[in-house]
């Protein structure tokens, strides 16, 4: 069993940087957990503490049922793949992959069979006699993966393993790693700052900011039920529109007062605001770009604005609309008929809106 338990883990470096704060995560056996967050939020520090490369300042780390705080890295049954691959330049691919086994004096014939098996899994059979300098970035990455999985670790740690690859190769290696996880059936903990990698690879995602976990959940729940404005705007591209509003009572109904005018909201949202006593208070109204439309289509909450920027990155049109509330972004089909400076109405589907507390930034439920 390779479940992990991180209990109230803290890391304070010697320079007093409190890099990780009260981390509590239970990682299930054979899970693919992604740690994601902006630069400096404590992802690598967390991974290095799990690997045993960094001391834990306080808290307990369990792998299986064993507390491993004081266990040497080599005794933790963990393999780590780094951003820079860390291959031995003077050894060929075969020697790189088999190095750890040879050090452990495993018989040559057994090593040979294992290397061929791993090379088959990673599709690098033709590269075994090449040195790392004679490989492409993607091929080097596969060799680094091979060297790690040949040890059959209980837990696999990966720190931004795709960040040195070009965009196309990154997409390809993303699915290679998912396939690898399915094949070898081991617990994976994967660090990235890339929300697309997190959303596409993780069975669960832990989103970190300033050393603190903001939310841990499945990709779909993170997207549909973000815990706070940080998570809401970190996941999703272009990011969610966040608009300031005040809750007002008019004719016995709760409404949202935006900078330009007062808008009705649906009965469910009224109820939530009433129950949590938000009457007269400021909130942040969040709406994802795909729920902002330039056509009426029964949408609610119309706003007026003028088109500032149009982007067509592929199958969609992103329109940046300047309004009295600030810039609002809409995601529409590629063939949307729109020009710069067009004066338009913007519609939101208010059933798809989120409401956050202005002070705490937490979702209002």
Task: Tell me which residues touch ligand ATP (CB under 6 A).
Answer: 13, 15, 17, 19, 37, 39-45, 193
Tokens representing residue 18 in the block: 């409190």
By beta-carbon proximity to ligand ATP, the closer residue of 51 and 272 is 51
Q: Minimum CB separation from ligand ATP for residue 17, in Å?
A: 4
By beta-carbon proximity to ligand ATP, the closer residue of 207 and 254 is 207
By beta-carbon proximity to ligand ATP, the closer residue of 17 and 279 is 17
- List the beta strands (DSSP E) in 176-281: 187-192, 204-209, 212-217, 241-250, 253-257, 262-264
Cα–Cα distance measured from residue 27 to residue 114, given in angstroms and rounded to the nearest whole number: 28
| 136-140-141 Cα angle (round to 5) | 115
Left (φ > 0), alpha (ψ -120 to 50) or beta: where does 352 sit?
alpha
Q: Minimum CB separation from ligand ATP for residue 206, in Å?
A: 12
Under 8 Å CB-to-CB from 7, ≥6 apart: which residues?
24, 59, 60, 61, 62
Q: Minimum CB separation from ligand ATP for residue 59, in Å?
A: 15
By beta-carbon proximity to ligand ATP, the closer residue of 213 and 364 is 213
Q: Minimum CB separation from ligand ATP for residue 37, in Å?
A: 6
Cβ neighbourhood burial of 280 (10 Å; 0-12, 13-18, 19+): exposed
Q: Minimum CB separation from ligand ATP for residue 229, in Å?
A: 20
Q: Minimum CB separation from ligand ATP for residue 49, in Å?
A: 9
By beta-carbon proximity to ligand ATP, the closer residue of 53 and 106 is 53
By beta-carbon proximity to ligand ATP, the closer residue of 55 and 152 is 55
b/e code 292-320 from CB counts within 10 Å (16+ = b): bbbeeeebebebebebeebeeeeebbbbb
């Amino acid at each position: 069993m390779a479940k992990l338990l991180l209990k109230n883990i803290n890391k304070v470096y010697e320079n007093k940087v409190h890099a990780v704060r009260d981390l509590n995560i239970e990682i299930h056996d054979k899970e693919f957990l992604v740690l994601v967050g902006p630069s400096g939020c404590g992802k690598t520090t967390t991974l290095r503490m799990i690997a045993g490369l960094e001391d834990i300042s306080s808290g307990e780390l369990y792998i299986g049922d064993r507390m491993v705080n004081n266990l040497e890295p080599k005794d933790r049954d963990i393999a780590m793949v780094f951003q820079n691959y860390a291959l031995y330049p003077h050894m060929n691919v075969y020697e790189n992959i088999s190095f750890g086994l040879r050090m452990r004096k495993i018989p040559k014939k057994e090593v040979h069979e294992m290397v061929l098996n791993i090379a088959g899994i990673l599709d690098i059979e033709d590269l075994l006699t090449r040195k790392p300098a004679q490989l492409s970035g993607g091929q080097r990455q596969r060799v680094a993966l091979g060297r790690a999985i040949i040890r059959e670790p209980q837990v696999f740690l990966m720190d931004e393993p795709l960040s040195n690859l070009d965009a196309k190769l990154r997409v390809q290696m993303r699915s290679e790693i998912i396939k690898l996880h399915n094949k070898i059936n081991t617990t994976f903990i994967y660090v990235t700052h890339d929300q697309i990698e997190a959303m596409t690879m993780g069975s669960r995602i832990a989103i970190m900011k300033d050393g603190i976990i903001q939310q841990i959940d499945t990709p779909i729940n993170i997207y549909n039920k973000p815990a706070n404005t940080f998570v809401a705007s970190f996941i999703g591209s272009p990011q969610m529109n966040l608009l300031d509003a005040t809750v007002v009572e008019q004719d016995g109904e709760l409404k949202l007062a935006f900078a330009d005018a007062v808008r009705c909201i649906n009965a469910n949202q009224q109820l939530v605001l009433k129950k949590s006593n938000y009457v007269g208070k400021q909130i942040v109204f969040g709406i994802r770009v795909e729920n902002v439309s330039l056509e009426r289509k029964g949408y609610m909450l119309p706003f007026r604005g003028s088109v500032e920027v149009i982007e067509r990155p592929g199958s969609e049109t992103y329109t940046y609309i300047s309004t009295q509330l600030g810039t609002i972004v809409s995601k529409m089909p590629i063939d949307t008929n729109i020009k710069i400076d067009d004066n338009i109405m913007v519609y939101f589907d208010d059933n798809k809106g989120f409401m956050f507390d202005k002070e705490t930034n937490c979702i209002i439920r």
